[in-house]
Amino acid sequence: MDAPVLLLLLALLLSSPLPSSTLDSLSQGSSLSVGKPEQVLISQSGIFSAGFYPVGDNAYCLAIWFTKPSYDGKHTVVWMANRNQPVNGNFSKLSLLKNGELILTDAGRFIVWTTKAVGVSPVRLHLFNTGNLVLRTSDGVIQWQSFDSPTDTLLPHQPLTRNTRLVSSRTKTNFFSGFYKLYFDNSNVLSLVFDGPNVSSVYWPPSWLVSWQAGRSAYNSSRIALLDYFGYFSSSDGFKLQSSDFGERVRRRLTLDIDGNLRLYSFEEERNKWVVTGEAITEQCKVHGICGPNSVCTYVPGSGSGRRCSCIPGYEVKNRTDRTYGCIQKFNLSCNSQKVGFLLLPHVEFYGYDYDCYPNYTLQMCKKLCLEKCGCIGFQYKYDHICYPKRMLLNGYRSPSFEGHIYLKLPKASLLSYDKPVEEFMLDCSENRTEQLVRTYSKAHENGVLKSILWFVCAIGGVEMICICVVCCFLMMKAQQNTNTDPPGYILAATGFRKFTYTELKKATRGFSEEIGRGGGGIVYKGVLSDHRVAAIKQLNGANQGEAEFLAEASTIGRLNHMNLIEMWGYCFEGKHRLLVYEYMEHGSLAQNLTSNTLDWQKRFNIAVGTAKGLAYLHEECLEWVLHCDVKPQNILLDSNYQPKVADFGLSKLQNRGGINNSRLSRIRGTRGYMAPEWVLNLPITSKVDVYSYGIVVLEMITGLRSVANAIHGTDGIGERQSLVAWVKGKMNSATAVASWIEEILDPSMESKYDMGEMEILVSVALQCVELDKDERPTMSQVVELLLRRGC
């Protein structure tokens, strides 16, 4: 393929006129014309360009962009003068008038945009290396600058002030003002608002937190926020965001994206692409307006945007070309309470637009209330006693960790068609979803190489052709080598998930000196990253797949985001080294804590609930493929507040990959004592194997005993042949009163300090979880529900 590419290059070189000007400034009386693409200002460093940018058919905007396109040939625009009023492709121009005014005229006639800055002294328009377009007098006085009127992006050293705001674009290709805004509110707090056509609401910081709870201060009225070249963004209200690749870089930006999230990006030179290195909101579904009315946002890790919108039962998509219109009713709701009924949508929240909040309401009272109000289209029921009848269903999202439910008001007749409401409503876990995990990057590559060469050729201007050829050949060879080793153009997890070098990790762990754990998967070391974060670094054994697969799996895992799942910060893939970088957990594993008797009853109960939530998240969000399969106290870690986080999920995917059988889990995995009978009986492996292991872990937490018979530290004589489960059941059956047998099985180190109600529920849930028949075990989200029914 070398020859044709070269020929093509030569042809292009000979035929196309090379740009003649690389101006970085414009003098009074001159202009840039829309029809002449070569009339572009380029900053002295070459990093930024300013001129007319095409935004549609025959539509242009005056803009500033990064000169170097990314691998897909697209330019990244950082500023626009006339985003809501593009100019015609013929005869439009930007002129710096003799009076010092900068004007943009459409098709030579009317003025679309102007700086209005009329000074007495002569001025020039400069494009600075910072990306700032500046109208400056000869003695250095700035009369106007683009930094004062940002669009959706802040560049390093471009302040966001009391007078400026960021406004997202409408869509990826439509640069018109969108509905999301970043600004300082009246109480000096940096906020994000969804300002839709019909409604608006602040979603960040979360409205139910007062500012100091969200880590903000309302007392500093300077109202300024700034990003630096190291990737550190800080605001006068105390908000801070540090990029995961902290360090000096010239190409960084902070953008309010079309999905309402504020993200830090860095340009990765080797791969020619922008990568996310930080973001303000980790739970994307909590952004308001993301799915439109009557629609629910759910997380779909692995898909392009990581989320998806679906209409609630009885509603249909309003506008197929624009999902932000949400869904509309397919039925007419009667005011006659005999003709309507309710449908339960578990773990769904619709925020706001209530008639009122009614505490101390039973479910029955809440239903009655909603029936009486004709305009009530459903209600939120939280904590088993708070009722919120709804006028509108907006900002909907579903997450197993949300402890409330929605009851939809629907015509009685149509209720029957949703007799399996949950399934109907659940995400479609069909093959298509897994299909999306297959990366579609290979095509982009050749293109990328060619484009970057073309870019290079263009940039180099009039240099001798021979010279270019040599450089091109070199570049092409290099690019081809890269095709083999480069990670694919895969969008990395948004939470700052990144690739580390082996040297970096070696340094962080001081030569892998401090071992903090050891398991089947590999050895874990403690380390301190260059940005001072303390990390747990796991060296994997036996990973033998290629980097593309490794990265795909790792980044899918890295994208999972739940307070009860350990967070993965990145990975290293070099030679035979495969490492994973996780957050470090102060209090070590549940196993260590059980051995050292540091857990009182409240902590144990919280750990049981939190662990169940983490597993429920893995199981429920269409992630059956991330079955844990090795739930045990060693894999449940505790943070500084003894909140549990499940670790090591999805690991099986990262090991034994090049393996024997690509069908489902074909090899026995797990740890003796925690493994469900299905493994031994060779029955289908489902998420219920994790439920079984969870049940065993809970029994261990209650009794303080180890399930593996020969490791007992108790005294009550669990023989070699009697399992923990059988022992507990035996105690239960032989007892006369509940309290007495619970006392007998309880960990003696707790000295009978426990909540009887919680204890009863926990024991009964644990015993259900270890049923031999998998169909008799509850699902993890049912476990969460059972445990919380009491907790609130």
Ligand X SMILES: *[C@@H]1O[C@H](CO)[C@@H](O)[C@H](O)[C@H]1NC(C)=O
Active site residues: 630
Does 411 bind ligand X (CB under 6 A)? Our answer is no
Is residue 513 a contact residue for ligand X (CB under 6 A)?
no
143 or 310: CB nearest ligand X: 310
Minimum gap (Å) between residue 186 Cβ and ligand X:
17
Find, among 557, 571, 609, 593, the residue nearest to 749 by Cα: 593
Question: In terms of CB distance, is 236 or 242 closer to ligand X?
Answer: 236
Determine if 722 is a binding residue for ligand X (CB under 6 A).
Answer: no
Examine residue 321 and tell whether it contacts ligand X (CB under 6 A).
Answer: yes
Residue 565 per-residue DSSP state: B
Using the Cα atoms of residue 72, residue 73, residue 77 and residue 83 in order, give the sign of their dihedral. Answer: negative
Task: State how far the alpha carbon of 704 is from the alpha carbons of 163, 576, 593, 701, 711, in Å.
Answer: 60, 41, 10, 5, 12
Closest distance of CB 247 from ligand X, Å: 22
Return all residues near 686 (Cβ < 8 A) that are at least 6 apart.
624, 627, 678, 774
The span from the CA of 146 to the CA of 125, in Å, is 11
Of the listed pieces 95-103, 315-323, 685-693, 780-788, which binds ligand X according to CB under 6 A? 315-323
Q: How many residues bind ligand X (CB under 6 A)?
A: 19
Contacting range for ligand X; rule: CB under 6 A; set: 136-144, 155-163, 219-227, 697-705: 219-227
Give the separation between CA 564 and CA 783, rounded to whole angstroms: 15
Instruction: Using the rule CB under 6 A, give the single segment among 180-188, 307-315, 317-325, 620-628 that binds ligand X.
Output: 317-325
Q: How far is the CB of 608 from ligand X (least distance, A)?
A: 28
Amino acid identity of residue 37, one-letter, is P
Pick the piece of the chain touching ligand X (CB under 6 A) from 20-28, 426-434, 441-449, 642-650.
Answer: 426-434
171 part of the interface to ligand X, by CB under 6 A = no
Structure-block tokens of residue 450: 């060619």
Q: How many residues does the chain have?
A: 792
CA distance 171 to 140: 38
Structural tokens at position 489: 């153009």
**Dihedral sign, Cα of residue 606, residue 609, residue 611, residue 617:** negative
CB of 332 to ligand X, least distance (A): 4
598 contact partners, CB below 8 Å, separation of at least 6: 587
> In this chain, which of 44, 163, 187, 222 binds ligand X, going by CB under 6 A?
222
CB of 49 to ligand X, least distance (A): 21
Q: Rounded to the nearest whole angstrom, what is the least distance from the CB of residue 172 to ligand X in the complex?
A: 14
- Quick one: which of 16, 44, 85, 319 contacts ligand X (CB under 6 A)? 319
Q: Which of 322, 372, 515, 751 binds ligand X (CB under 6 A)?
A: 322
Choose between 134 and 182: whose C-beta lies nearer to ligand X.
Answer: 182
Which residue from 15, 138, 186, 332 is in contact with ligand X, where contact means CB under 6 A? 332
How far is the C-alpha of 642 from the C-alpha of 707, rounded, in Å?
A: 23
663 binds ligand X (CB under 6 A): no
- Structure tokens of 136? 């400056």
Residue 430 binds ligand X (CB under 6 A): yes
Alpha-carbon gap, residue 672 to 589, rounded angstroms: 18
Asked whether position 364 contacts ligand X by CB under 6 A, the answer is no
> Residue 507, CB half-sphere, CA atoms under 13 Å: how many?
9
Token pair of 189, please?
């707090």
For the bound state, the minimum distance from the C-beta of residue 55 to ligand X, rounded and expressed in Å, comes to 15
CB-nearer residue toward ligand X: 178 or 521:
178
**Binding residue for ligand X (CB under 6 A) from 236, 380, 399, 707?**
236
Taking the CB of residue 30, how many other CB atoms lie within 10 A of it?
14
Asked if 224 interacts with ligand X (CB under 6 A), we say yes
Comparison of 433 and 731: residue with beta carbon closer to ligand X: 433
For residues 27 and 222, which CB has a smaller minimum distance to ligand X in the complex?
Answer: 222
Nearer to ligand X, 160 or 702 (CB): 160
633 and 646 in contact (C-beta within 8 Å)? Answer: no
Closest CA to 71 of 548, 477, 497, 479: 479
- The β-bridge partners of 78 are none
- 133 vs 145: CA distance, rounded Å: 6
Chain residues 771-790 in contact with ligand X, contact rule CB under 6 A:
none
Q: Which of 186, 432, 484, 663 binds ligand X (CB under 6 A)?
A: 432
Which parts of 195-214 interact with ligand X (CB under 6 A)?
A: 197-198
Residues 53-92 that bind ligand X (CB under 6 A): 89-90
- Listed in sequence order, the residues at least 6 apart from 680 whose beta carbon sits closer than 8 Å to its beta carbon are none
220 makes contact with ligand X (CB under 6 A): yes
Q: Which is nearer to ligand X, 300 or 536 (CB)?
A: 300
Show binding-site residues for ATP. 538
**Region near ligand X per CB under 6 A, out of 427-435, 613-621, 699-707, 708-716:** 427-435
CA within 13 Å, CB half, 742: 18
Pairing of strands 386-390, 378-382: antiparallel
Q: Is 511 in the site for ligand X (CB under 6 A)?
A: no
CB of 734 to ligand X, least distance (A): 38
Binding of ligand X by 359 (CB under 6 A): yes
CB of 672 to ligand X, least distance (A): 40
**Residue list, annotated binding site:** 538
Taking the least distance from each CB to ligand X, the nearer of 269 and 316 is: 316
Provide the minimum distance between the beta carbon of 216 and ligand X in the complex, in angstroms, as a whole number: 12
The dihedral built from the CA positions of residue 359, 365, 367 and 368, taken in this order, carries a sign that is negative
Quote the DSSP letter at residue 23: B
Task: Please pick, from the candidates 8, 316, 331, 667, the single residue that binds ligand X as defined by CB under 6 A.
Answer: 331
Residue 197 or 511: the one with the smaller Cβ distance to ligand X is 197
Measured from the CB atom, is 303 or 723 closer to ligand X? 303
Selected range binding ligand X among 69-77, 141-149, 305-313, 316-324, rule: CB under 6 A:
316-324
Residue type, 7: L
Three-class DSSP category at 373: coil
Given 230, 325, 355, 490, the residue binding ligand X (CB under 6 A): 325
Residue with tokens 């007749």: 413
756-769 and 738-745 helices cross at what angle (nearest 10)? Answer: 70
Site for ligand X in 561-590 (CB under 6 A): none
Q: How far apart are CA 48 and CA 41, in angstroms?
A: 8
Tokens representing 754 are 């426990």
Pairwise CA distance, residues 397 & 517, whole Å = 37
| Binding residues for ligand X restricted to 178-197, rule: CB under 6 A | 197
Cβ of residue 552: shortest distance to ligand X, in angstroms? 20
Through-space distance between the first and last CA atoms of the chain, rounded to whole angstroms: 67
Piece of the chain touching ligand X by CB under 6 A; list 217-225, 251-259, 629-637, 698-706: 217-225
302/517 with CB nearer ligand X: 302
Positions 583 through 622 that interact with ligand X (CB under 6 A): none
Q: How far apart are CA 56 and CA 579, in angstroms?
A: 45
Asked if 304 is part of the footprint of ligand X (rule: CB under 6 A), the reply reads no
Distance between CA atoms of residues 509 and 526, nearest Å? 6
Task: Name which of 501, 555, 557 is nearest 530 in CA terms.
Answer: 501
- Phi first, then psi, for residue 732 (nearest 5°) are -65, -45
Q: Which of these segments, 320-328, 546-554, 580-588, 645-653, binds ligand X (CB under 6 A)?
A: 320-328
CB 170 within 8 A of CB 83: no
Minimum separation from the CB atom of position 160 to ligand X (A): 11
Binding residues for ligand X, rule: CB under 6 A, are 89-90, 197-198, 220, 222, 224, 236, 319, 321-322, 325, 331-332, 359-360, 428, 430, 432
